[in-house]
Amino acid sequence: MQVWQNGRFAVSTWSLHRLLGAVHGYSPDPAKSAAPKEPYGAGGAALIDMPAALAVRGIHRLEVCSFHLPSLDAAYLTELSDAMAVSNVLFQTLLVEDGDPSHPETAERDVRWMAEWIDIAAALGAQRMRVIAGKQKPTEENLARAARHLGWLAEKAEGSGVRVVVENWFDLLPSPVEMNWLLDRLDGKVGLNGDLGNWAAPEKYPGLADIMRRAEICHAKADYNAVGLDAEDYRKCLKMCETAGYAGPFMLIYDSPFFPDEWDGILLQKAFIEAFLREAPARRSA
């Protein structure tokens, strides 16, 4: 059994967006402002304190949404990297939350802006940088455009220590057909961050069983209903990961108002996955 450095669980700052409060709209669009806004409230904690908060809860991997970085100054990036090191928390992924490499008019501008984040990710010690593959409809032309620009971006990241990954997200990648085409075209230069919550049921289950064989990391997002976590859906999603042979880290994505304290939702999902993994030998022998 593989033993993962810093364990198999990570937390995305998206799971803590109410706690963290302000977001910064970094964008390749010059009409957009990066000035802080508070769409989720004022928050009650700073990003710099999250590595210690994770470590206290026995989680030693973090991924950070770009809009949660309060500053891109070198001094702040060093301070955050040092806070990660002190708490023995691995910076797994920097999530670059804007840009569209498939756009017929702005793709080149956007991907050049994405490339500027490579140095930021490297300064933070991030292993990976997740970018948006594309927001346009999955026409042959749009897919080819995205593949060309993502390949260029991956070349820019060579030697940085940061691997570029994409996600099964937005209109360009609505099914395994497009997802596999893109990854095949990129020939290993770009990896996959599989997300359990971006595609709709029931089609998502066979879709996940298909693409998770190629995933390096996983956004383990759970759905919630009136009574709490949708256990049937979450178990099916995890079973599809197992069927695909996925054995990588799980990023705990909590995105629900069910628990006022976001940590409660995060730790519930962690316990659910741990129970699922403990039951694996029984499933294999059944």
For the domain that residue 195 is a member of, what is the CATH number? 3.20.20.150
Confidence of residue 1 (pLDDT cuts 50, 70, 90): very low
- Reported as a single tens digit per residue, the pLDDT across 109-126 is 999 999 999 999 999 999
Q: Is 126 left (phi over 0), alpha (psi -120 to 50) or beta?
A: beta
- What is the dihedral angle through the alpha carbons of 140, 142, 144, 148, rounded to the nearest 10 degrees? 180
What pLDDT was estimated at residue 3? 60
- Reported as a single tens digit per residue, the pLDDT across 157-188 is 999 999 999 999 999 999 999 999 999 999 99
Does residue 2 belong to any structural domain of this protein? no
Residue with tokens 């990954």: 165
Q: Is the preceding peptide bond at 260 cis, omega within 30 degrees of 0?
A: no
The whole domain housing 82 covers 9-281
Listed in sequence order, the residues at least 6 apart from 1 whose beta carbon sits closer than 8 Å to its beta carbon are none
Residue with tokens 């490499």: 101
Residue with tokens 């670059």: 96
pLDDT at 91 over 50: yes
Q: Is the dihedral of CA 272, 56, 65, 257 positive or negative?
A: positive
Q: What average pLDDT score do residues 136-147 get?
A: 98
Q: Which residue has the higher pLDDT, 283 or 94?
A: 94
pLDDT at 260 over 90: yes
pTM for the complete prediction?
A: 0.96
Question: Which amino acid, residue 149?
Answer: H
Does residue 49 belong to any structural domain of this protein? yes
Does residue 286 belong to any structural domain of this protein? no
Instruction: Enumerate the β-bridge partners of residue 219.
Output: 195, 251
**Alpha helices, DSSP H only, in the chain?**
17-20, 50-56, 74-86, 107-124, 140-157, 176-186, 204-211, 231-244, 262-278, 280-285
- Total structural domains in the chain? 1
